[in-house]
Structure 1
Amino acid sequence: MIEMTARRDYEYDNTYNRALQSRIYADLDGTEYANLHEETGIKLFSYSPPIPPRNAEEGDTRRLIVAGHDDHLITTIATKLCQDPELNLYEMPFHADRAFSITTPLRDQGTLTTGTPIVVRYSTETADEYGIDTPYETTHWQPEHGTELFFERLHNNLGRKYQLAYDEEPPEPPYFTGYSFERTIAKPLSFDTESVTFIGSEWTFEYEIESGSHRKLLQLALTAGLGELNSLGFGFMNRAEDVNDGAPEQP
């Protein structure tokens, strides 16, 4: 967790993702993770928005949580932010004051909630399998596409993360005992000269640990995130018991 101070008044900017991602990758230059941003496929880390995600006045405290499977990577990101503490997320300017470790062990049963929207995408081939008519080669999941497709893609992605992290086969889904869909969010982000709109969704997931491998998989969901584009700031997860007015409790 990085504790930050707002350097001036600002209105909350929900398009912060690219600015924060760029800062993280720039900080990794010159480290053993220098090529991480060039690697394709899944990256096993995620991060929160500035917490709480709302307007601020100069001097207000905000927090940023960076989580992942590789503890050394997370420590490197946090250390670099504090070594060069001026963090500018477009019109949201911060000073990174300090960083400290937090632990988030899972109870035997509990609830996970989305801290940032989950992005699930699928191809035209998958769309055809589910009888979905779409003109796009890659389509973002939306409620009208059905929860069966959402969880098929979600479980598949989480299983691949598990294989990458532990080099073993993941437990069989389903991974959650219950769920509640909250809403979808359209989020336009700028990439150089083009703007791309991502459609994400917010959820609450109930779980009950069934095995050691199931615990490892859900712990990975909490640290590396759910769905796609976690390194772009999507799919960051919280334990429900930690959330207080949009901000996880301090340890």
Structure 2
Amino acid sequence: MRIKLDLESEESFPEWAFGKHAIQSMIYSHLDSTEYRKLHDSKSFKFFTFSDLYPRGHFKPGVRKSLIISSPDEGFIETLYEKLLPDERFYLGNHSLRVISIKKFRLRPRKAFITGSPIVVNARPGMGRFFTFHHDGSLDYFIRAITENAVRKYSSFTGEYFQLEGPLFTRMIPRVRKDGWVDVYVRVNIRGKYFDVPGSTWKLLEAKITPDNRDFYAFVMDAGVWILNSLGFGFINPIRPTRA
């Protein structure tokens, strides 16, 4: 289940003026007086994520940007939807944004997806904190890691054993930077310290969806892929696949 916020600024400022942690803090602040008030301190999976603000570019008066928040927990989305108010203003860093519209909706998974924020994966032992294609380069490890994590999160959410036949995605086409690298870096605030977190974005993630695994892929679509989902990483959207 998802919420789409359309937002406008009343001043001009660069898009890097605040980070993902500011959006995360805004979400948690709207949950303060609800049954989800302790979610921030939970050591287990958070089961929500959010997109990058889009379209890309600097903030300017009258220029509308959108944010999508998703979760397989319908209670979470319903609660947040009730707390977010039309025409309210909230601060992200030192800048305020006005809510123009709020929409609550559901999407069904299709056989293809696109990333709406970078996917972040833990590195293998001895390879640093986060996986990068530049330093590791193993697509096999990347696919195995995101598959195992998705199954573990789904089993944790449902309380039932689940086994996926095959990898999470059967066809993957990355977005490649102008310098030829796949890795992108996002500066985030984690426990009061700033880090450049590497991830990857993908213009096609194709899956083999069947009646037996459709609920699983609906979960993955709304919970996010791999780690740091509650910090706005691993967000994916369903798309109609095109032949590349």
The TM tier, using the shorter chain, reads: 0.7 to 0.9
Deviations 1:3-58 (A, max 9, x none): 22222222212752011111111221111001100001311111112221222320
Gaps of 5+ in 2: 176-181
Match of residue 209 from structure 1: 209
Aligned with 1:87: secondary structure?
A: strand
Shift of 1:79: 3.0
Q: What letter corresponds to residue 206 of structure 2 in structure 1?
A: E
Match of 1:112 in 2: 113
One-letter amino acid of the counterpart of residue 225, structure 2 = L
Q: Give the counterpart of 2:133 among 122, 139, 142.
A: 142
Corresponding residue SS for 2:157: helix
Determine the C-alpha separation between the residues in 2 that align with 1:84 and 1:161: 35
Report whether the alignment pairs 1:176 with 2:179.
no
How many aligned positions are there?
A: 229
Which residue of 142, 149, 161 maps to 1:157? 149
Rounded to whole Å, the distance in 2 between the matches of 1:68 and 1:14 is 26
Question: Separation in 2 of the partners of 1:84 and 1:25?
Answer: 19
Q: Which runs of 5+ in 1 are unaligned?
A: 128-133, 243-251
| Offset from partner CA, 1:108-159 (integer Å, 9 cap, x none) | xx311111000000352xx5xxxxxx3x4x3434354201111111011101
Cα distance, 1:192–1:67 mapped onto 2, change above 3 Å: closer
**237 and 120 in structure 1: CA distance in 2 versus 1, 3 angstrom threshold:** same
For residues 1-251 of structure 1, the aligned pairs below 5 Å read 1-13=4-16, 15-82=18-85, 85-90=88-93, 92-107=95-110, 110-124=111-125, 127=126, 134=127, 136=128, 138-145=129-136, 146-172=138-164, 173-182=166-175, 183-191=182-190, 193-203=192-202, 204-212=204-212, 214-241=213-240
Give the SS at the match of 1:150.
helix
CA distance 1:21–1:10, shift in 2 (3 Å): same
Deviation at 1:160, TM superposition (A): 1.2
What one-letter code is carried by the residue in structure 1 that aligns with 2:31?
L
Name the SS for the 1:18 alignment partner: helix
Residue 218 to residue 92, structure 1, CA distance change in 2 (3 Å): farther
Query: Mean alpha-carbon deviation: is it higher for 228-237 or for 60-69?
Result: 60-69
Of stretches 7-16 and 158-167 in structure 1, the one that deviates more from structure 2 is: 7-16
Alignment check: 8 A CA contact 1:2 1:78 kept: no
Distance across 1 between alignment mates of 2:190 and 2:205: 32
TM-score normalised by length of structure 1: 0.83
Distance 1:190 1:153 in 2: 24
Q: What do residues 67-126 of structure 1 show as CA deviations (whole Å, max 9, x unaligned)?
A: 10111211222332326821222355311133122221123xx311111000000352xx
Structure with the higher fraction of residues in helix conformation: 1
What TM-score do you get using the length of structure 2 for normalisation? 0.85
Query: For residue 5 of structure 1, what is the amino acid of its counterpart?
Result: E
Query: Any conservation in 1 of the 2:130–2:198 contact (CA below 8 Å)?
Result: no
Q: Is the 8 A contact 2:121 2:131 kept in 1?
A: yes
Identity %: 26
